[in-house]
Structure 1
């Protein structure tokens, strides 16, 4: 029996490590997707942001966030090795492996924001916001769900397997608050209400980024099984991975079909975001079967096609469609669990969505507003026209191709 416990300890720890590596690789996917869907004059800043936000998220979650999320909530500072951990009682797996798997989720939430505020926000205010998001905002709402507090019972019954709300919608709400303060890119919307498309620089990079995210999502959802030491666990992981893949496929094809019907052409950017929306839609309930995943993906892909122009009509400028993918599809995916899982009620899901959304949006809006008043969020009009790269990083992504 003791030997079996050792084997389970090893397998469960290995699951966290290898799945965490896959989720970490999603940082590259976000960087490539955002670079491809934004203009080349801003790409060096985009890449700098994505690398820096990952590093900041990991450090802040170590020093502050993990303790807030999985401790008793009474102490802020303290590394994962000195706090009351959720696995300390039975030592089911290595503490460092658990921390590593959790920390890459925090970076994902921050990455969602990066794309929405691209091409007009200063670098340092964004990074300062990342400090607060990963150290305070994300862990507090996570404490109410994955941390086990249930907010004194208010969030009892709320179910989010891998983070449609806890990760993706959190990033979406924080991004929405920032975009509302920041405003749209210069020239995006006409005074007559028209919308001017601003094409990205490289759809090849955007497609590569989507495939990297798709691959990383197998770790995102599969690792959230949280155990590998039994037949039931590996069966569960296999189902989650298969469901995740199905949802992405359904989302991509639904977006392709709808754009053909609506615009008479297949819009690649919509297809990419359709796949990602399918993944987000499946994340709250990737263990409910492939038919459920198919339905979640179909609806998620359709939502993106209609949400992107909806945000444009509201003059909310989102260069990469992150609000449509992570916020809108995240809400749908969380509600879907209440529809398809008989053990979860719609009301419990709605309460969780509203509570988390209200807290994250209000807290983020306050932080963004303070940063705007102190240091300013937006670059000058001259810098925005010339491109952020030279002014923020001193570099050009493609120096051999000079702009006219």
Structure 2
């Protein structure tokens, strides 16, 4: 019996595997929207849950269309000088690259919704999402991934999977929008002291955290977008040459983020706050996202624990000193953690991946400053413009009633309504109904 060798064009095989890989991780990143929906819904009052879920649905739906028609072209214009929108693709499979970029863009957009929860008008948020997907985010990617314009002395700004470009930008945008909007009703007393307005479901928040962590492997590991390349007519590993390190550093930093947040919360209060642990896990992921391909194992430990540990400290500073009501802690989770990890790149990198530490550190600082400055200015102008037009914030009556009713005409939990007890933000809770729906008089 004789066998004939299977003749396979290595270029076709490489293209097919690479396309399949990019599509798979794109779907995984898309699923992170379920995590954002659960995380944010769990951290808002029950009267605002439908509003938060609607914003998550529309962030994707509006944003992805805008990025397809406008944003992708703006990114290429800034990056290479030519306006090349996704709908002008010459080959069918070119759309795969657009989808991969789109799921990153929509992650940046949806981060903002958690910061402005409970008081932003839906139309204002959607207006901002439109402009973020059309211009704000595409300019950032044009300066970085699409064009490598941020550099010093030939050293290019480093951000592997969006620690600053996606998460840092989204967190800073959320902080800016929350500052312009002002705090929720009842968040602060006349003497400036803060009231806690707890979310309605810790279970949802933790579930959302774990869904996001699962999807994050698509975010970081998925950025190793080329499995194979063809060299001298034979297959060789492409970006997958470092995929094991990316998976390891992502996992280690994630774990250390939760540990760091738990430890600092315990040192501050004597209690291990569950929500800090959950958000600390995410902060650890954000911290490593810019540098997972070059970070040492011990560097991943350090970046993760610092990213998680800064969370309670930064959130407390924003809450008590800056008086900014960042409902879902998007800045300490995504903003400051993203900045920290991005700047730490040359300090924790493996041997041979960084030339001059000083030069690399300088360009990282410049990149962070450019992205932060652009985001703050554009976001501030948009939200101040909406505020001046009277379109940024719901009325006090609607805020007290809840955005589910005032913005959507629905109640997420109608069986719990009808109470008379009032909490800090003016909302009401029923004194006779248990959280499981039963009566306390049973």
Check conservation: 1:9, 1:94, Cα contact below 8 A.
Answer: no
Could you say which residue in structure 1 is the equivalent of 2:181?
A: 182
Could you say which residue in structure 2 is the equivalent of 1:61?
A: 67
Q: In the TM superposition, what are the counterparts of 1:20-35 in structure 2 within 5 Å? A: 20-35=26-41
Match of 1:367 among 382, 394, 398: 382
Go from structure 1 to structure 2 and tell me whether the alpha carbon gap of 1:151 and 1:277 turns closer, same or farther (over 3 Å shift).
closer
**Separation of aligned partners in 2, 1:61 and 1:232:** 28
Could you say which residue in structure 2 is the equivalent of 1:135?
A: 134
Q: Displacement, 1:241? A: 1.8
Check conservation: 2:26, 2:100, Cα contact below 8 A.
Answer: yes
Could you say which residue in structure 2 is the equivalent of 1:217?
A: 216
Larger Rg over CA atoms:
2
Could you say which residue in structure 2 is the equivalent of 1:320?
A: 328
Q: Displacement, 1:152? A: 8.5
Query: Residue 120 of structure 1: SS of its match in structure 2?
Result: coil
User: Bigger shift: 346-355 or 176-185?
Assistant: 176-185
Q: Displacement, 1:67? A: 1.4
Could you say which residue in structure 1 is the equivalent of 2:428?
A: none
Could you say which residue in structure 2 is the equivalent of 1:240?
A: 246
What does the per-residue CA deviation read over 1:160-197, in whole Å, with 9 as the maximum and x for residues that have no partner? 00111110111122212211210001111112121111
Check conservation: 1:331, 1:353, Cα contact below 8 A.
Answer: yes
Q: Displacement, 1:374? A: 2.5
What does the per-residue CA deviation read over 1:307-358, in whole Å, with 9 as the maximum and x for residues that have no partner? 1101002101011110111111010011011322324611000000001111
Q: Displacement, 1:74? A: 4.7
Match of 1:13 among 10, 19, 24: 19
Q: Displacement, 1:154? A: 8.9
Check conservation: 1:144, 1:155, Cα contact below 8 A.
Answer: no
**Separation of aligned partners in 2, 1:70 and 1:175:** 25
**Separation of aligned partners in 1, 2:263 and 2:206:** 18
Answer yes or no: is 1:271 the counterpart of 2:277. Answer: yes
Go from structure 1 to structure 2 and tell me whether the alpha carbon gap of 1:132 and 1:155 turns closer, same or farther (over 3 Å shift).
farther
Go from structure 1 to structure 2 and tell me whether the alpha carbon gap of 1:195 and 1:375 turns closer, same or farther (over 3 Å shift).
closer
User: Bigger shift: 11-20 or 346-355?
Assistant: 11-20
Check conservation: 1:145, 1:155, Cα contact below 8 A.
Answer: no
What does the per-residue CA deviation read over 1:170-226, in whole Å, with 9 as the maximum and x for residues that have no partner? 112221221121000111111212111111000000000000100010000111112
Runs of 4 or more, structure 1, over 4 Å off, are 71-76, 151-156
Match of 1:307 among 292, 304, 314: 314
Match of 2:347 among 318, 323, 339: 339
Gaps of 5+ in 2: 1-6, 229-235, 420-442
TM-score, normalising length: structure 1: 0.93
Could you say which residue in structure 2 is the equivalent of 1:290?
A: 297
Go from structure 1 to structure 2 and tell me whether the alpha carbon gap of 1:97 and 1:10 turns closer, same or farther (over 3 Å shift).
same
Query: Residue 349 of structure 1: SS of its match in structure 2?
Result: helix
Q: Displacement, 1:231? A: 3.7
Q: Displacement, 1:261? A: 2.1
Could you say which residue in structure 1 is the equivalent of 2:363?
A: 348
Gaps of 5+ in 1: none
Answer yes or no: is 1:47 the counterpart of 2:53. Answer: yes
Q: Displacement, 1:403? A: 4.4
Could you say which residue in structure 2 is the equivalent of 1:376?
A: 391
User: Bigger shift: 259-268 or 323-332?
Assistant: 259-268
**Separation of aligned partners in 1, 2:109 and 2:255:** 25
